[in-house]
């Protein structure tokens, strides 16, 4: 056990990519974003510390610990004012920025998908979506989760595969960009 309160025990890697991905398209809503931020901000001081970040990411990834160097990398990426904490504005800026369409964006998208695909079978089920959203502090019934899945489930199997997830995320980014530019998004 580490004696330094800022020292997080290191073990498994690959959480860096998971931590850098978008938590959810649901976080475009300011109320939902604030709820998720408050879930991360366990002590309620209005900022996310590296310890709080570790606790939530460990919960989401089902790992025993996130390596300290990966946590620091995430903090460096999100902490734009470099005060050592992530405030609500920094958190919102991360959650609301459009997904990239390049290779790095594709890797982020895969990491986001993998966060929800808890059993690694290539599909996001209603129960997996429900579990992850609840861990993020978003109250959602299983029925609501199934409705979300049905809205993007183009093959009718009751789950979301990676291609359906990619389409949903990229369509969402196009719609968001169009709203910011004051134009309608082009239909695919």
Tell me the CATH number at 160: 1.10.238.10
Please indicate, yes or no, if residue 1 is contained in any of the structural domains.
no
Question: Is the CA virtual torsion 105, 150, 138, 28 positive or negative?
Answer: positive
How many structural domains compose the chain?
1
- Enter the pTM of the model: 0.54
Q: How far is CA 178 from CA 119, 149, 171, 181, 185, in A?
A: 35, 24, 11, 5, 5
Please indicate, yes or no, if residue 5 is contained in any of the structural domains.
no
Neighbours of 53 (CB within 10 A): 22
Please indicate, yes or no, if residue 185 is contained in any of the structural domains.
no
The residue range of the domain holding 36 is 15-180
Please indicate, yes or no, if residue 187 is contained in any of the structural domains.
no
Which tens digit of pLDDT belongs to each residue from 131-141? Answer: 988 888 788 89
Containing H/E element for 161? strand 160-161
Which tens digit of pLDDT belongs to each residue from 59-85? Answer: 776 666 778 888 888 898 899 999 999
Please indicate, yes or no, if residue 24 is contained in any of the structural domains.
yes
Please indicate, yes or no, if residue 164 is contained in any of the structural domains.
yes
């Amino acid at each position: 056990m580490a004696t330094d309160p800022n020292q997080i025990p290191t073990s498994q890697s690959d959480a860096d990519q998971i931590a850098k991905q978008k938590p959810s398209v649901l976080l475009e809503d300011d109320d939902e974003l604030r709820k998720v931020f408050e879930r991360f901000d366990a002590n309620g001081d209005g900022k996310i510390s590296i310890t709080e970040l570790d606790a939530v990411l460990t919960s989401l990834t089902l790992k025993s610990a996130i390596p300290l160097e990966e946590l620091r990398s995430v903090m460096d990426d999100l902490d734009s004012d470099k005060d050592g904490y992530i405030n609500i504005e920094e958190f919102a800026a991360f959650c609301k920025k459009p997904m990239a369409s390049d290779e790095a964006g594709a890797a982020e998208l895969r990491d986001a998908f993998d966060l929800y695909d808890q059993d690694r079978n290539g599909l996001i089920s209603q129960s997996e979506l429900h579990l992850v959203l609840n861990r993020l502090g978003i109250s959602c019934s299983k029925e609501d989760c199934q409705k979300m899945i049905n809205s993007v489930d183009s093959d009718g199997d009751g789950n979301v595969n990676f291609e359906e997830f990619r389409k949903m995320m990229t369509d969402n980014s196009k719609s968001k960009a169009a709203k910011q530019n004051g134009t309608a998004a082009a239909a695919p």
